[in-house]
Amino acid sequence: MSKGIKDQKYGRLYLTGFKKQLVSEVEKEDVAGAIKMVSERHGVGHKTLCTWIDKYGSKAYKDNRRKRRTLPERDRIVSEIILGKLTIAEVQIKYDVPCRDTVTSWVRKHQRSQKEFHLPNPAVSTFPEIIEPNTEQEISNEAFKQAQLKIRSLEIMLDIASAEFKVNIRKKFGAKQ
């Protein structure tokens, strides 16, 4: 076991008083990156200090440390950026968002969701117009063409499935012997 340092360590374990002292130091520092600065200053791991803050930190600090925004609030902020009313830097100042990457991720998620729900314009159709046949002969010809197309598409599907699964799917004709 290592030698104990007065008021800090006993063996490999930190004393509770030292932990609480570092947590109060982090709470007093009112800048972004305070956890990193305090952890480097005292030679304590960043993740360790975060654990101590969760355990010994004050409720007010924990609440203010990471403000969670609701989805409607994020959408309102993103719409101001997309409409050009505010820039990302102005949004950071106005809504007290500490990290630029947070705002850009909100914008990206919003744009992705808009692409998912974007439907093509119904006025512009990509399908050819259906022309109604006039005579019985045209109707039967059209039905015959549709049947041939259906048979061909099913044959292609069988070929693809046979190649993909390496199994002969087609029915074998003839008597079994």
* pLDDT tens-place string over residues 58-67: 777 776 666 6
Average pLDDT, the chain: 78
Domain count for the chain: 3
Same domain? For 75 and 60 the reply is no
Has residue 173 been placed in a domain?
no
Residue 140 to residue 122: CA distance in whole angstroms: 31
Confidence of residue 117 (pLDDT cuts 50, 70, 90): low
Give residue 1's pLDDT: 35
Q: Is residue 176 part of a domain?
A: no
Angle, CA of 98, 93 and 36, to the nearest 5°? 20
Q: Is the sign of the CA dihedral 87, 89, 90, 92 positive or negative?
A: positive
The domain in which residue 85 lies consists of 71-117
In this structure, is the dihedral angle defined by the CA atoms of residues 152, 156, 161 and 166, taken in order, positive or negative?
Answer: positive
The verdict on 57 and 82 lying in the same domain is no
- In a shared domain, residues 140 and 112: no
With respect to residue 148, please indicate whether it lies within any of the assigned structural domains: yes
Helix (H, G, I), strand (E, B) or coil at 166: coil
50 with 76, same domain?
Answer: no
The answer as to whether 4 is a domain residue is no
Higher pLDDT pick, 4 / 120: 120
Left if phi > 0, otherwise alpha if psi is -120 to 50, otherwise beta: which for 96?
A: left
Residues 57 and 29 in one domain: yes
Comparing 44-53, 130-139, 149-158, the range with the smallest average pLDDT is 130-139
Q: 33 and 59 share a domain? A: yes
In a domain, 110, yes or no: yes
**Is pLDDT at 11 greater than 70 in this prediction?**
no
Verify that 59 and 75 share a domain, yes or no: no
Six token digits for residue 10? 């006993």
pLDDT-derived band at 2, boundaries 50, 70, 90: very low
Q: How far is CA 157 from CA 5, 147, 160, 167, 170, in A?
A: 75, 15, 5, 13, 11
**84 and 112 inside one domain:** yes
Give, to the nearest 10 degrees, the angle between helix 16-28 and helix 46-56: 90
How far is it, in rounded angstroms, from Cα 36 to Cα 81? 31
24 lies in some domain? yes
- Are 45 and 19 within one domain? yes
Residues 6+ apart with CB under 8 A from 115: none
Whether the Cβ atoms of residue 14 and residue 42 lie closer than 8 Å to each other: no
Same-domain check for residues 22 and 50: yes
Residue 175 lies in a domain: no
Task: Flag whether 123 is in a domain.
Answer: no
CB 53 within 8 A of CB 26: yes
pLDDT of residue 100: 86
- Whether residues 80 and 49 fall in one domain: no
